[in-house]
A and B are shown apart, each in its own frame.
Chain A
Amino acid sequence: DQQVKQNSPSLSVQEGRISILNCDYTNSMFDYFLWYKKYPAEGPTFLISISSIKDKNEDGRFTVFLNKSAKHLSLHIVPSQPGDSAVYFCAASWPFGKVVFGQGTRLTINP
């Protein structure tokens, strides 16, 4: 039972443009949603998070949007840079408990 889904395994974006990564979830009990970034042969690193009581959180070039009615969140990166090329994992957490990850989306930024 995949509770967090990233339906696009890969995404290719031109440098300078906006990258939009999408994520859907099934359980309305999740209280936080997070995005992690992963380079090959490294562990994931935290990027940005959003509480379920908010609908937007912004940190520099990164913005996460949450649509609770649609059980959907998205990560916007603008402008996209070559160093953003990585695998991005969407994740959702239970209150005071475990975190569930999506399958990941491989983002490639083309010069």
Chain B
Amino acid sequence: NAGVMQNPRHLVRRRGQEARLRCSPMKGHSHVYWYRQLPEEGLKFMVYLQKENIIDESGMPKERFSAEFPKEGPSILRIQQVVRGDSAAYFCASSPGAGGDYEQFFGPGTRLTVL
């Protein structure tokens, strides 16, 4: 059973471009979470999705950021018109259920650098 896959591992964008980060959850997991880690900081929750539904997006910036988890295919975190402050490591995690009694399995992360 493959773990959580994220691609690309490294992404470089110029200011104003779009960044698309992909996450394939573990087989059988229908719950996906996105986190952002800024340099020298902890993991910040961004969004929690189930198949085709956004459950909690309270950590997502209101503008330029969006996330989806379609019925088929990976979850996508999309950042439009990137700015330097978006440079960070973005981690995706998946679980078979919701809540703390279900372990979240993390992917290796995508490191976004905005020039």
Contacts and interface: CB of A to CB of B under 8 A. Distances in A.
Interface of A: 6, 30-34, 36, 41-46, 49, 51, 89, 91-104
A98 B105 contact: no
Interface in B11-58: 33, 35, 41-45, 48, 55-56, 58
Which 7 pairs show the lowest CB-CB distances between chains A and B?
A32-B100, A93-B100, A43-B106, A103-B42, A101-B43, A96-B98, A46-B103
Contacts of B85: none
A89 B43 contact: yes
Contacts of A100: 45
A41 B110 CA distance: 10
Contact of B55 (A41, A44, A97, A102): A97
A2 to B, nearest CB: 9
From B33, B91, B98, residue with most partner A Cβ within 10 Å: B98
Nearest to B6: A43
Interface of B: 4, 6, 33, 35, 41-45, 48, 55-56, 58-59, 91, 93, 98-101, 103-109
8 contacts: A33-B100, A34-B103, A43-B4, A44-B106, A49-B101, A89-B42, A92-B100, A102-B42
B55 to A, nearest CB: 7
A104 B45 CA distance: 14
A45 B109 CA distance: 12
B42 A45 contact: no
Contact of B99 (A31, A36, A89, A91): A31
Nearest to A87: B42
A92 B104 CA distance: 12
Nearest to A93: B100
A44 B101 contact: no
